[in-house]
Amino acid sequence: MENNTIIKIENLVKQFPVGGGTFTALNGISLSFGKGEFSGIVGPSGSGKTTLLNIIGSLDSPTKGEVTVMGTGSGGMNAKTASQLRKKHIGFIFQTYNLMSVYTVYENVEFPLLLLKMPASERRKAVLDAIEWVGLTDKIKSRPPQLSGGESQRVAIARAMVKRPGLVLADEPTANLDAANSHHILQTMESLNKELKTTFLFATHDDKVIRYLKRIVTLADGKVVSDESVK
Ligand SMILES: Nc1ncnc2c1ncn2[C@@H]1O[C@H](COP(=O)(O)OP(=O)(O)O)[C@@H](O)[C@H]1O
Ligand SMILES: [Mg+2]
């Protein structure tokens, strides 16, 4: 694996049991992504984008093939090692934000650091920095029901970024946002990509996201049908 490679996928196959047989959701995917990329998995609904992102993030495992993320292979990796890797080095952003509605913005962003058992003094600075990166310092004590969709997704970005992960995976992050909010969160992620060199990988079929991507990998029926860099 080259030094600069953050994700390497070789001959990945993912099958799900359905009825009496199996459904092949990913059918022989080979791809690699370098550090600092701002790229996306694109394709129609059902093409396998979420399945691929979940396997990269160790939320799911391959049926066949190898997936290596930051030098740690999924092949021989046990579930505990995989989940450690995920907690430490990967941030997730989901379509539905997945925020805890009874907790404040501050507490939602702090949560991943409690799981990592970061000491309180370091934690406070990391949380305040992450909230500042997404421009929500004035909403620190608000709770998710008091926030707009765009603000909620920015909290989710801060929560994904608070550990300063090497890799952020974002699955349809704009699906519940209007055009203005979509552009705002894409601009936020673009500047985090530039300033902190965080690698971003999206799964999306939204043109508002696609126009920001520097590299577009297109899936159809579980296969890569094109892989293009955008000038
Ligand atoms: N747990 C599962 N069991 C059975 N089929 C699944 C499962 N997860 C995904 N699939 C199927 O795999 C295909 C790809 O799904 P998905 O990765 O969610 O696509 P996308 O994110 O591109 O819309 C779909 O046909 C979907 O129905
Ligand atoms: Mg999906």
Give residue limits of the domains in the chain: 35-64+78-229
Contacts (Cβ under 8 Å, ≥6 apart) of 115: 87
Instruction: Name 33's bridge partners.
Output: 7
Contact 15, 25 (CB under 8 A): yes
Distance CA 77, CA 81 (A): 6
Residue nearest to atom 17 of ligand 1 (CA): 48
**Amino acid at site 112:** P
Contact 154, 93 (CB under 8 A): no
Ligand 1 neighbours, Cβ below 6 Å, are 16, 18, 23, 25, 43, 45-51, 203
pLDDT for the residue numbered 86: 72
Phi-psi region of 179 (alpha: psi -120 to 50; beta: other; left: phi over 0): alpha
State the ligand closest to the CA atom of 22.
1
Structure tokens that stand for 26 in this block? 């990913």
pLDDT for the residue numbered 80: 74
Residues in the chain: 231
**Predicted model pTM:** 0.93
Instruction: Name 32's bridge partners.
Output: 8
pLDDT for the residue numbered 71: 72
Cα dist from 193 to 31, 92, 130, 198, whole Å = 21, 15, 14, 5
Helix (H) or strand (E) holding 100: none
DSSP-H helix ranges across the chain: 49-56, 79-89, 105-115, 120-133, 149-161, 179-196, 207-210
Distance CA 30, CA 11 (A): 5
- What CATH superfamily is the domain 35-64+78-229? P-loop containing nucleotide triphosphate hydrolases (3.40.50.300)
**Collapsed DSSP state (helix, strand, coil) of residue 122:** helix
Contacts (Cβ under 8 Å, ≥6 apart) of 217: 31, 39, 40, 41, 42, 224, 226, 227
Low-confidence stretches of the chain (pLDDT < 70) are 1-3, 73-77, 79, 83
State the ligand closest to the CA atom of 42.
1
In the reported structure, the alpha carbon of residue 124 is separated from the centroid of ligand 2 by a whole-number distance in angstroms of: 34
Contact 216, 230 (CB under 8 A): yes
pLDDT for the residue numbered 74: 52
pLDDT for the residue numbered 87: 74
pLDDT for the residue numbered 75: 54
Phi and psi (nearest 5°) for 116?
-85, -5
Residue nearest to atom 2 of ligand 1 (CA): 16
Which of 89, 133, 129, 127 minimizes the C-alpha distance to 105?
127
